[in-house]
Amino acid sequence: MAVHKKFNALGRGLDALISTEGVRTQGSSTINEISIDQIEANPNQPRREFDEEALQELANSIREIGIIQPITLRQVAENRFQIIAGERRWRASQITGLKSIPAYIRTAKDESVMEMALVENIQREDLNPVEIALAYEHLLEDSSMTQERVSERVGKSRAAIANYLRLLKLPAQVQMALQKKEIDMGHAKALLSLDSPSLQVKLFNEIKKYGYTVRKVEEMVQMLKNGETLESGNKKISQKQQMPEEFNMLKDKLSKFFNTKIQMSCSPKGKGKISISFSDEDELLRIMSIFDNLKDKEQ
């Protein structure tokens, strides 16, 4: 008998990934009662951390009304089963002291288990972005899938998968903060626009300290990419770039022409800023007169 449960959050449910034909069960039932002690967690489960408070709440619910949705298992040895989906329910059941738990037993190839767990978790309780990224990386490395194939299997666009994988290039402390929800995915994506890991960490520390919004961080990143210097609190942050020699020569020429200090910044894309320094009002008037003379000559 086939078991059909539809989950459409991703456009493709578990039924599209797990064959439910020919499920082996006890008697005529499609659900087994499996001993808690015979069940083991999936070592490749994408979820790495479980909120203790949330688990306790789930355990309290199980005490009152029992397990509404059976977990999904595959048999790995005689009287041994591994979780495909439902580890939170299994853990919460242990807290309540249950001896057995209702479960579907599915036949699945090893390389399919990770994607099943990934889809199930995304549909039921969001993984944090780093866990999702690690899960995608695992699928790509261990199953030899392409990004396009992973996209088809989990119902996400290639661009979305690529964006998650890019998170793994962030400095460790940024990834940890993202995993602990100290910053949002938007913050992380903005930081990825910066090429320098040290600059990413500097701006990340400012985000934590002052609680900057994603939009604010995007503006700050753009300023840095344009070669501008940021002021955050009492700190100045800049993206130091080694300017081409011709730019340095131009800077020296301008400094001699105006007879004052000239500051120049330039982004890798060639966009930058020129600053002319003056020490007092008289020097400002002198510089302005130079501009006036240049204007008169043009006319």
Q: Which residues are catalytic?
A: 87
Kindly tell me the sign of the dihedral angle through the C-alpha atoms of 242, 248, 250, 251.
positive
Find, among 185, 144, 192, 196, the residue nearest to 169 by Cα: 192
Answer for the pair 13, 6: CB distance below 8 angstroms, yes or no. Answer: yes
Strand pairing partners for 95? Answer: none
Coil, strand or helix at 120: helix
Answer for the pair 164, 136: CB distance below 8 angstroms, yes or no. Answer: yes
Answer for the pair 5, 59: CB distance below 8 angstroms, yes or no. Answer: no
Strands 71-77 and 235-237: unpaired
Strands 100-105 and 71-77: parallel
Cα dist from 273 to 104, 174, 207, 229, 234, whole Å: 64, 30, 25, 10, 22
What is the CA angle 294-297-299, rounded to 5?
115
